[in-house]
Structure 1
Amino acid sequence: MRILLIDVNCKNSSTGDIVYALHKNLQKEGHESLLCYGRGDACDEKGIYKFANDTETKIHALLTRITGFTGIFSPLSTDGLIHQIKLFKPDLVHVSELHSYFVNPGKVIKYLRANNIPTMWSFHCDIMYTGKCGVAQNCDKWQRGCGKCPNLSHYPKSLFFDHTATMYKWKKRLFDGWDKLYISTPSLWLKNRVDKSFIKPKQIKIIANGVDTSAFKPVKNAKEQFRQELEIPAESKIIISVMPNFNDEIKGSHHIINLAERLINIGANNVYVFVVCKKGNLPNKLPSNMIVRMDGDSPQKLAYYYSAADVFTLTSSFETFSLTTAEALCCGCPVIAFECGAPETIYAQPYAKFLSYGDVGGILNLVLEELEKPQDSKTIRRYGISNFSAKNMVNSYMESYKLILNEKE
């Protein structure tokens, strides 16, 4: 097989990790693989190519804010990607993410369709069937036709103009009648959203996202070492939350702060809230029991943090899978979370427990209950490995590639 993979990132972010795992497995099995990506540092490995120009990406983001249009710029980067597709002559193209200011998806789709190239597209968010929103949340205009968008200030941000009706129609034209399109989603919940959209692929398959269980595993003595590192009592309990950006409202850092304040108010002086994020501007004052660390690029370091914690909390308002939940479980850490879309339909009790979104008091009560129990990290990890390993994910994608190509023949 000759498979060309496309994503925003490579070896960075959840989707970047997924395409990299697929690329390495394809090479390992003797197939030819080319991984093309648009953003992040250059990767000097065989079969990996960064096609986007960083300056052009910044211009694309600026023009999106000024004009209200997105995904129609980056001509040089887009031509660079199409040139790689022409040179590689893939049997199948697997698209993971084709947004984030680095490419014109319309030109890429037209090329794939014109050349009758079977295309598997992994949907991880709403962006390809909405006027612009990556996360439509409670808005359902995309089921009928966008316009008068209530979320213009959300990614991808427009400062002045609402062209969501025009972009919705543009995307609909791009996808209408595409008979070589196969879609995967990480959850039944997201599949149901795609089913309600204008996109009608030949097939939609559910393939759960997977984590590298050789990296995300319980770390010996992490609890003792981390408490020494933080200079807190050895018997202290730690609640962990992991998010890419502390200031992303969807990820709910304000709920984490609220949780920390409630712990102080009830006198739970031996319980600390630890937040790991890659970026963000922190408030001038955080609760005294709350620790925020800008980190998270290394799976091994994240595994150390998950292993050191007693419970993981997810306070997002919208998730199509939640890879951090799978990571925590594979490290043997139980989960307490808000209902936020897909996670409550994916992760089973007693390993993960869910409450109505915004019920911080309920989260507090469940966390306190969990902290009183002995932690059965081995059982939790077994559940994580059996359901959310990268190996399972890769095998499912490989099977899908072969079925699609056999159908082609």
Structure 2
Amino acid sequence: MKILMINVVCGIRSTGRICTDLARALEEQGHEVKIAYGRENAPQEFQNYAVRIGTDLDIMMHGLRARLFDGCGFGSRKATQRFVEWIKSYDPDVIHLHNLHGYYINLEELFNYLRTCGKKIIWTLHDCWAFTGHSAYCDTVNCDRWINGCHDCPIMNYYPASFIDNSPKNWIKKQQLFRNIPRLTIVTPSNWLAGLVKKSFLSEYTVRTISNGIDTKHFRPLESDLRACFGLGNKKILLGVATAWDDMKGLSDFYRLSSMLDNEKYQIVLVGLTQKQIKKLPSTIIGIKKTNSIKELASIYSAADVFLNLSYCENYPTVNLEAIACGTPVLTYDTGGSSESAFGENVVQRGNLDEVYKVIENFEISMPTVDVADLDYKRSIDSYLKELYMRN
């Protein structure tokens, strides 16, 4: 069986690693897999899967269209036309969609092809963008305008940020493009997101919940020199990890928390910051740049006493799973499906830093009673294979 996945990245960050984990498992079972992606470079070890869509210039022009005209998903027309011709020649049996935002693919060109191609189509949603007129995470402001039609978007300044609000037209366009696609099944990693999909214009489709997994061979307790490198002694390390940090990911909440804590007892460490962000950090927070080394990341998780997820926008965050697999308990806001990937343990109301402070001070943070094997991506792979790929 030939399988084509489409995602914004390949082999890096959470969705990129989900794709390559799935690809490796499928290949082990004798299937042929390609991952078409739009941004950055695929690591060398995944080059055998990687197919680049468009160029950096295409992404730049698409991003400009999105910024000026709220046109995320409606640029990259020529690049997508060329890609569709490549799909026809590759002739996959299954097309597995992941993140289609990121300024790399044209929705009209892609879905006009998908409507008539006759292929089995799986679409794994990692956020809300597919059914809103603009935002990937409408729940950050408890917005439900997407149910009946987007308008007056309250978070135009957040990704995919735009100077104008074209959400009403985008919502209508998406509804026209995404509905009535033969043989399409939607997958969500969390029950939370599945519930939103069933309220949206995508409710006509079968929706399956298959939780994300991680590679527990790599994410496991490891020796770490983090304490020695930063001279942390016996301080309790409070860790945050994100692909990109902003207030939606809880950056300002970490700032506030650092001013509340006794810095002789606690040390906040944030991974995934830019050099510019690191320079602006208060002296009470240690910043580490983004790493694509799983071993390095696992060693950092292993050194931490608590993993803090203070994000205001989450689906089913694998960072929670990665921390737990490395032996580090998770304290999370009740955001999206984050409580699901923390297995209901150590959950506080979103934005309630006083409660976060109280839990940390009393150290009422327990490890969930979960078998590490249940966190492994192979469990997710088995579900995809049995429930989706192998069924007619």
Tell me the TM-score normalized by structure 2.
0.93
What one-letter code is carried by the residue in structure 1 that aligns with 2:72?
Answer: T
**CA–CA separation in structure 2 for the residues paired with 1:219 and 1:134:** 34
**CA–CA separation in structure 2 for the residues paired with 1:153 and 1:11:** 29
SS at structure 1 position matched to 2:169: helix
SS at structure 2 position matched to 1:216: coil
For residues 25-80 of structure 1, what are the alpha-carbon distances to aligned partners after superposition, in whole Å with 9 as ceiling and x for unaligned?
22111112121111111555323211221101101101111122221111232023
For residues 340-376 of structure 1, what are the alpha-carbon distances to aligned partners after superposition, in whole Å with 9 as ceiling and x for unaligned?
1212244225xx30111111121112122338x8x8x
In structure 2, the CA distance between the partners of 1:128 and 1:251, relative to structure 1 (3 Å rule), is same
> In the alignment, which residue of structure 1 is the partner of 2:260?
262
Is the Cα contact below 8 Å between 2:2 and 2:33 reproduced in 1?
A: yes
Query: How many Å apart are 1:126 and its aligned residue?
Result: 0.7
> In the alignment, which residue of structure 1 is the partner of 2:181?
178
**2:15 aligned with 1:15:** yes
**CA–CA separation in structure 1 for the residues paired with 2:316 and 2:389:** 25
SS at structure 1 position matched to 2:302: helix
In the TM superposition, what are the counterparts of 1:46-57 in structure 2 within 5 Å?
46-57=48-59
Following TM superposition, the consecutive aligned residue runs of length 4 or more in structure 1 with deviations greater than 6 angstroms are none
> In the alignment, which residue of structure 2 is the partner of 1:402?
389
Query: How many Å apart are 1:285 and its aligned residue?
Result: 5.6
> In the alignment, which residue of structure 1 is the partner of 2:323?
328
Is the Cα contact below 8 Å between 2:6 and 2:96 reproduced in 1?
A: yes
**CA–CA separation in structure 2 for the residues paired with 1:201 and 1:8:** 26
> In the alignment, which residue of structure 1 is the partner of 2:236?
237
> In the alignment, which residue of structure 2 is the partner of 1:295?
290
> In the alignment, which residue of structure 2 is the partner of 1:25?
25
In the TM superposition, what are the counterparts of 1:179-328 in structure 2 within 5 Å?
179-220=182-223, 222=224, 225-233=225-233, 235-246=234-245, 248-264=246-262, 269-279=264-274, 281-282=276-277, 286-328=281-323
**CA–CA separation in structure 2 for the residues paired with 1:42 and 1:238:** 32
In structure 2, the CA distance between the partners of 1:384 and 1:11, relative to structure 1 (3 Å rule), is farther
**CA–CA separation in structure 1 for the residues paired with 2:253 and 2:358:** 14
SS at structure 1 position matched to 2:271: strand
**CA–CA separation in structure 1 for the residues paired with 2:120 and 2:331:** 40
**CA–CA separation in structure 1 for the residues paired with 2:341 and 2:12:** 24
**CA–CA separation in structure 1 for the residues paired with 2:290 and 2:13:** 13
Query: How many Å apart are 1:281 and its aligned residue?
Result: 3.4
**2:373 aligned with 1:386:** yes
In structure 2, the CA distance between the partners of 1:311 and 1:281, relative to structure 1 (3 Å rule), is same
Query: How many Å apart are 1:403 and its aligned residue?
Result: 4.1
Is the Cα contact below 8 Å between 1:37 and 1:49 reproduced in 2?
A: yes
For residues 186-211 of structure 1, what are the alpha-carbon distances to aligned partners after superposition, in whole Å with 9 as ceiling and x for unaligned?
00000000000001354211111111
Query: How many Å apart are 1:284 and its aligned residue?
Result: 6.0
Aligned residues: 388
What one-letter code is carried by the residue in structure 1 that aligns with 2:253?
Answer: H
In structure 2, the CA distance between the partners of 1:43 and 1:284, relative to structure 1 (3 Å rule), is closer
**CA–CA separation in structure 1 for the residues paired with 2:42 and 2:324:** 31
**CA–CA separation in structure 2 for the residues paired with 1:324 and 1:121:** 22
Q: Unpaired runs of 5+ in structure 1?
A: none
Is the Cα contact below 8 Å between 2:95 and 2:119 reproduced in 1?
A: yes
> In the alignment, which residue of structure 1 is the partner of 2:5?
5
SS at structure 1 position matched to 2:187: strand
Is the Cα contact below 8 Å between 1:9 and 1:39 reproduced in 2?
A: yes
**CA–CA separation in structure 2 for the residues paired with 1:314 and 1:210:** 18
Query: How many Å apart are 1:277 and its aligned residue?
Result: 1.3
Aligned-pair identity in percent equals: 29
Is the Cα contact below 8 Å between 1:6 and 1:36 reproduced in 2?
A: yes
Q: 2:361 aligns with which of 368, 373, 385?
A: 368
**2:159 aligned with 1:155:** yes
Q: Unpaired runs of 5+ in structure 2?
A: none
In structure 2, the CA distance between the partners of 1:15 and 1:260, relative to structure 1 (3 Å rule), is same
**CA–CA separation in structure 1 for the residues paired with 2:389 and 2:271:** 39
**CA–CA separation in structure 1 for the residues paired with 2:273 and 2:217:** 22
RMSD value, Cα: 2.0
What one-letter code is carried by the residue in structure 2 that aligns with 1:362?
Answer: E
Query: How many Å apart are 1:297 and its aligned residue?
Result: 1.7
SS at structure 1 position matched to 2:277: coil
> In the alignment, which residue of structure 1 is the partner of 2:99?
97
In the TM superposition, what are the counterparts of 1:340-351 in structure 2 within 5 Å?
340-349=335-344
Tell me the TM-score normalized by structure 1.
0.90
**CA–CA separation in structure 1 for the residues paired with 2:278 and 2:388:** 47
What one-letter code is carried by the residue in structure 1 that aligns with 2:290?
Answer: D
**CA–CA separation in structure 2 for the residues paired with 1:168 and 1:175:** 10
Is the Cα contact below 8 Å between 1:306 and 1:331 reproduced in 2?
A: yes
In structure 2, the CA distance between the partners of 1:42 and 1:190, relative to structure 1 (3 Å rule), is closer
Is the Cα contact below 8 Å between 1:181 and 1:201 reproduced in 2?
A: no
Is the Cα contact below 8 Å between 1:329 and 1:384 reproduced in 2?
A: no
